[in-house]
Every structure is written in C-alpha cells, then in structure tokens.
Amino acid sequence: DGTSNKIRLLEQSPALEGQFSHFVESTDWQAVTQSHQEKTEQDVLRALSKDKLDVDDFAALISPAAEPYLLEMVAKSERLTLQRFGNTLSLFAPLYLSNTCANECTYCGFSMSNAIKRLTLNETQVGKEVAAIKSKGFDHILLVTGETNKVSMPYFERMIPLIKPHFSQLSMEVQPLDASEYKQLQGIGLDGVLVYQETYRRKTYLEHHLRGNKSNFNYRLDAPDRIGQAGIHKIGLGVLLGLEDWRTDSVMMAHHLRHLQKRYWRSRFSVAFPRIRPCEGGIVPKSIISDRQLVQLIAAWRLFDRDLEMSLSTRESPEFRHHAVRMGFTTMSAESKTQPGGYADDSQEALEQFEISDERPVAEIMAMIREQGREVVWKDWDPALSHV
Ligand code: SF4
C-alpha cells in the first residue's frame, strides 16, 4: 500500500545534491574532529574579536583552547542576547500526544521493545491537556509524539485545528515528513518544526537507531531542508549531547545551520542542547559534557549567531537552569510532563519519555527568571517590535 511504498522509498533516501546529506557524505568526520582539536589561543582570540563568525571560529570557541576565556565568552553572550532580544524569555510547554513508537532508539523510553503502557490521546483527552496547559498561562505549545503510522498526517490534521486556536505559536517535534506534508500542516496552523539529528555521524547514528524509519539517516538529515522548502516560519536543530564527540557534532550542526540560513533566509532558526538523561534501557554516554563545557557551548552558539533562538529544557537541573538563564537563552520549557495526558492527570509516570530534572511549578520558574533580571513573555519575541 501507499505507506509501505513510502517506507521503501525512505529506506533508499540517497544523499541529494544541494541538501545537507550531500555535505555530510562528502565531509570526513575525523577531519572535522581535528579542526577543533588543533585550535590555538590565537584562533580563540581572533574569534572573540570578530562580529561575524564562521564555522571555524565557532570550532575555536568550543575547543579546549577557549576554556581560559569562558568568563569573557559568557559576558559577551549575555550582552549580545540582551541587545538582540531584550531582557525577556518566553516559556513553552511540550504536549506529548502519543508515546506509541515503531522505532528502536537506544536512549529513549518510548522505544518499541520497551514494555510500557502506550497511549495516544483522543480529541477529548487533548482538550483536557490543552485546558490544563492554558490554565498555567502558556501561549506557546510544542506537540511531541513517537513515530508510528498511528500518529502521522491524518492524526496531525485532526489535532492541530483543535489545539492551534488556543495558542499563538504551535510547533511540532514528530516524525520527519515530506515537504508537501509540512506545507499542508502550515495551512492549518503549524508555525515551527524541530527535528533533532541526535548525531551527525552516520556510523554512530545507526548504532543507536536500530529499527524503524528513524534508522534512515539521510531522510532525517534532510528534513530541515524540506521544512525550509515548505516555508515554515521556524526550524529547530539539535544533537543529543553524549552520543558522539559533543564538539564534532556541534561543529557539524553549525555547518547545518549555515547551510539552511543560506537557502531559507525567510525562516528563523532555533537550537537546543539536550544531554542524555536516564530512561528505560538507558545508555552510557560516549562523550560526557560537563556543566562548565555546556556553558562554553551555549556561549559559543550565541557568539556564532546573535539572531538564533536558543532553548533550555527541563532536562537540566534547577541549579543549572538558574545560572544559565542570563546567558543566551530565548525560550525555556517549564513544568513539563513527558507522558501523554500528564498535565490533566500526572499519576501516570510509567508513560513518560525521560525523567525531567527541573520539576518546579511555573510560578517558581517565573520567580527564578525575574531574580536573574529577566522578564517572562508569554508570546514569542516579535522582531518587528524590536525598535519599540
Ligand atoms: Fe521513538 Fe523518538 Fe523515542 Fe526514538 S526517540 S524511540 S523515535 S519517541
């Protein structure tokens, strides 16, 4: 049938000229690793003195050679963020619609072979979740699902029109789709799509994505190109820090961002920094990024791109989030539930994707943000108002 044909096509996804998969196929991973390993103090000082940074400067800023300059980087990152975004931060809530999944990802509690209770919310349950999220004040929602036929286009086409009228911004983090499908969803209210590549190294990617459509490396890698071609307002990138050398993956993501910015200049871009968290069948990270290194990475991203939206999730501890608020972030999740139905009924922890680390209620998060001299805005920052 149509679905199996699509799956067969997906399995063959070649690296396409002009798409990012082509860049990745023709780029030697070891050479990229060497490019940040060989950076010197001079490279770091040059990057720090520039206004417009290239990927090579970014590699210098995340290299060990930049570690003595951490305070300077953080101060500059804070200054640039304030100049560009003002002293505001917007909050969003992830809405987990389904934890069914036909994929096997080594780091995820929703993996097909995990014997957990599965739930896909119906219209009534979605209505209850929306009411619970709205009652906390959120105006920006991120829809999250596992990846199965059950939660594909027909389901999204039913749910988005129910949810969108209640929020000014609606983004999705679901299975990668075709450009025409993104376009279709944009017509019914989709504003942004996040597709995290997890790792840019094919070999490691295949070791962690064992079964299902997600094991099609190129189809996922080219999803941001398809989102851009569909003219979606916001495109989100991310790697799962810890699967591979975090520096090499970050340099590859910086290349990915520049590739997309050149082609889809009407879209806005966001990046996120998830670190591997404990989950069902948890794995040991291959490369551990310390808190200090994560701070360096965040500051380097802000210096690399002052227009970039940067998102901090509840995966991080309250202490880390407390200190990170001022650094360069523009959005943050709060009081997240990672199990479907969790906002209206949080007694179902067995359904959750991963344990969150910062479980504080929204009011406490807002107080913490204000303590850091920032204001919470419930709507997305609007560049058109930046001069007001
Ligand atoms: Fe499914 Fe996504 Fe989890 Fe993989 S990471 S098992 S695709 S929900």
Q: What average pLDDT does the structure give for the chain?
A: 89
Instruction: Specify the DSSP element, H or E, that contains 257.
Output: helix 246-263
Of 105, 114, 205, best ligand 1 pocket probe by most atoms within 8 Å of the beta carbon: 105
By DSSP bridging, strand 331-333 and strand 104-105 are unpaired
Ligand 1 atom at minimum distance from 212 CA:
7
For ligand 1, which residues put their CB under 6 angstroms from it? Answer: 101, 103, 105, 108, 110-111, 146-147, 214
Count of residues making up the chain: 388
Which residues are paired to 194 by β-bridges?
236
CA of 387 to the centre of ligand 1 (A): 41
Q: Are 260 and 224 in contact (CB under 8 A)?
A: yes
pLDDT tens-digit series, residues 331-347: 988 888 888 999 998 77
Instruction: Specify the DSSP element, H or E, that contains 298.
Output: helix 291-304
CA of 103 to the centre of ligand 1 (A): 6
Report the nearest-CA residue for atom 8 of ligand 1: 146
Core vs surface per residue 64-98: b (16+ CB within 10 A) or e: ebbeebeeebbebbbebbeebbeeebbbbbbbbbb
The band of 258, judged by pLDDT with boundaries at 50, 70 and 90, is very high
Report the nearest-CA residue for atom 4 of ligand 1: 105
Interatomic CA distance for residues 224 and 268, integer angstroms: 12
DSSP character at residue 241: B
Question: Hey, how many other C-beta atoms are within 10 angstroms of the C-beta on 342?
Answer: 20
Q: Are 91 and 332 in contact (CB under 8 A)?
A: yes
Please tell me the predicted confidence (pLDDT) of residue 325: 83
ipTM over 0.90: yes
CA of 278 to the centre of ligand 1 (A): 14
Ligand 1 atom at minimum distance from 112 CA:
6
pLDDT tens-digit series, residues 173-212: 999 999 999 999 999 999 999 999 999 999 999 999 999 9
The encoded tokens of residue 42 equal 């001079």
Report the nearest-CA residue for atom 2 of ligand 1: 146
Residue that has been written with the tokens 């941001």 in this structure: 224
CA of 269 to the centre of ligand 1 (A): 23
Please tell me the predicted confidence (pLDDT) of residue 7: 59
pLDDT tens-digit series, residues 53-108: 999 999 999 999 999 999 999 999 999 999 999 988 889 999 999 999 999 999 88
Measured in whole angstroms, how far is the alpha carbon of residue 52 from the centre of its chain? 24
The band of 146, judged by pLDDT with boundaries at 50, 70 and 90, is very high
Phi, psi for 107 (deg, rounded to 5): -105, 5
Secondary structure of residue 380 in the 3-state scheme? coil
Report the nearest-CA residue for atom 5 of ligand 1: 108
